[in-house]
Amino acid sequence: MRNLPTLPTSPGCYLFKDASGTIIYIGKASSLRKRVASYFQKTSHDPKTSQLIERIADVDYIVTDTEVEAFILENTLIKKHQPKYNINLRDAKTYAFIRITDEEYPRVMIARQKDQKGRYYGPFVSAAERDYILWFIKHAFPLRTCSRLPKKPCLRYHIKLCDAPCAGLVTKEEYRQKIEKISLLLDGHVDELLSSLDTDMKSYSKAMQYEKALIVRRERQAIEHLRERQNMVRQRRFNEDILHHTVRDGTVYLMLFNIYKGTLWNKNEFVFPASPEFLEEFLLQYYSENPVPRELIVPEALSASLVSFLSERRGSKVLVTIPKRGSKRQLLTLVSKNIELGFFGDVGKLQELKKRLQLHELPVVMECIDISHLSGSAMVGSLIQFRNGRPDKSNYRRFRIRTVEGVDDTAAIAEVVRRRYTRLKMEEAEFPQLLVIDGGRGQLNAALGELRKLDLHVPTVSLAKRDEEVYLPGMGAPLRLPKSDRALHVLQEMRDEAHRFAIAYHHVAHRKEVLA
């Protein structure tokens, strides 16, 4: 894994994938880059983790606003994808509610089923998030926890975790007000409650009732923490899709989040040429093939005819929301953040690569060639393509070497270059802004020789494995880049991916050769 420096430092969830693209592990992190890097920096792991690391071929991620959100999203994604290395560890978590009991002095507690009297809030996707909220409620709002009221105050009163209604040290009205505050914040009326608490705190301070002001302050702190509750876990009776986009250099970069029963269920990415009506064209095509949600959250207004089409497809009215504030606006902003980090987080490393290799243009499209063989048998070549700094697997190609006898990597490189770029030239297709060859000076010269024969001018370099030296045309000595250099990381990531792809094909070709 050489693409670690490209991961953001934001909180979120990371998804490890194997060579086939299957998700094999999902985790959450306060810093995606640091957490993912820790897997590859440690030298000792338990057997299961070691096996996981050996199978990791790619990593995807979803950015969240807070670590709490990441924790909840992790649970949702695990339950959806059931990755091999998660399923036994986390599948035991179940949804639960927070219940306010129907008693003279109500308690706040966890409930698995709605089978008793009281008010219920949830369900909570994450047990950790539910416990976190419950902990803050009990510390900010001193309430009874005993199943039966004792005859005198217990230890919880003396450590200020209960107001001791058992001894009449709090009136029923005062206790009821605390319960109503808890109900307000669990119902999501956080702004209203915070404003009220601010007013109370100022009044108590002005009247020099500092102890009461401190109590209100503690309540406010608890509510601020509860505001970190995941935007994606809003309880709804219907499903939502949240969509945002940006347009750069005539290209649309669009993300669509599917929200199922209040939780993020899926993330879709789309890249396509911009047109005057691209958003409505996209929605028309996408929802002709996919379920239409009850609510569609978008950054701009849609035509009445499109909304009618969506409603007809769904069989009931579709609500189109263009939020200006509140939790829905926060969700729209979160999608926008994922677009920036997902699509454009790699631009910096491409600019660094352009500078280091003295390229005339940004290497938006790059290709890398590698050769694999087993003692000269079943020799194969692989070509992988990166677009905007990320693998574009639709343009990966495999080559069975036809004209080379024995072990001759330079001749094999020449054959792959000749076949690949002869085809592109005949089809008048797009050429890469950079070609990377796995090898040293000999492999580089072999590739350059074939390009000259085809009268093509494709910027080409090679990367030697032993000392990670970069060979450039016309330079006597190789270029040595610092190990921490982002440009070197890009080249290493491409080389490693080409090698992985070549090895996978070599195993298939060798097996066929043995069975023949």
Specify whether 142 is located in the same domain as 101: yes
* Lookup: tokens for 125: 């996707």
Instruction: Please tell me the predicted confidence (pLDDT) of residue 515.
Output: 43
Residues 6 or more apart whose CB falls under 8 angstroms from that of 342 comprise 61, 63, 255, 269
Specify whether 182 is located in the same domain as 33: no
Specify whether 191 is located in the same domain as 313: no
Specify whether 479 is located in the same domain as 354: yes
The span from the CA of 323 to the CA of 349, in Å, is 34
Cα–chain-centroid distance for residue 16? 11
Strands 434-438 and 365-374: parallel
Instruction: Please tell me the predicted confidence (pLDDT) of residue 126.
Output: 55
Residues 6 or more apart whose CB falls under 8 angstroms from that of 203 comprise none
Instruction: Please tell me the predicted confidence (pLDDT) of residue 377.
Output: 63
Eight-class DSSP state of 459? -
Task: With a cut of 70, list the residues of the chain below it in pLDDT.
Answer: 1-6, 68, 71-72, 75, 87-95, 123-129, 188, 222, 225-238, 260-265, 345, 374-378, 505-516
Specify whether 377 is located in the same domain as 474: yes
**Distance, first Cα to last Cα, the chain:** 35
> Among the three residues 90, 112, 136, which one is the final residue of a domain in this structure?
90
The span from the CA of 40 to the CA of 36, in Å, is 8
Strand extents, DSSP E, 232-338:
240-248, 251-260, 263-273, 295-297, 319-321
> Among the three residues 69, 90, 111, which one is the final residue of a domain in this structure?
90
**Which of 324, 313, 315 lies closest to 283, judged by CA?**
313
Residues 6 or more apart whose CB falls under 8 angstroms from that of 298 comprise 243, 244, 279, 320, 321, 322
Specify whether 367 is located in the same domain as 487: yes
Specify whether 192 is located in the same domain as 276: no
DSSP string over 189-251: -HHHHHHHHHHHHHHHHHTT-HHHHHHHHHHHHHHHHHTTS-GGG---SS-EEEEEEEEETTE
Q: How many C-alpha atoms does 280 have within 13 Å on its Cβ side?
A: 12
Query: How many other C-beta atoms are found inside a 10 Å radius of the C-beta of residue 15?
Result: 19
Instruction: Please tell me the predicted confidence (pLDDT) of residue 300.
Output: 92
Specify whether 186 is located in the same domain as 311: no
- Model confidence over 34-62: pLDDT tens digits? 889 888 877 777 777 888 888 888 888 99
> Among the three residues 173, 196, 231, which one is the final residue of a domain in this structure?
231
- Model confidence over 10-19: pLDDT tens digits? 888 999 998 8
Instruction: Please tell me the predicted confidence (pLDDT) of residue 483.
Output: 84
Specify whether 357 is located in the same domain as 469: yes
Specify whether 240 is located in the same domain as 312: yes
Specify whether 366 is located in the same domain as 486: yes
Instruction: Please tell me the predicted confidence (pLDDT) of residue 86.
Output: 72
* Lookup: tokens for 414: 């020449």
| Exposure letters 396-417 (e unless 16+ CB within 10 A, then b) | bbbbebeebeeebbbbbbbbbb
If one counts the domains in the chain, the total is 4
In this structure, what CATH number is given to the domain that contains residue 286? 3.30.420.10
Domain membership of residue 163 as a residue range: 96-231
Strands 96-101 and 108-111: antiparallel
Mapped onto helix, strand or coil, the DSSP state of residue 9 is: coil
In this structure, what CATH number is given to the domain that contains residue 62? 3.40.1440.10
Specify whether 124 is located in the same domain as 187: yes
Instruction: Please tell me the predicted confidence (pLDDT) of residue 264.
Output: 66
Radius of gyration of the chain (CA): 30
Contact 8, 338 (CB under 8 A): no
Instruction: Please tell me the predicted confidence (pLDDT) of residue 298.
Output: 94
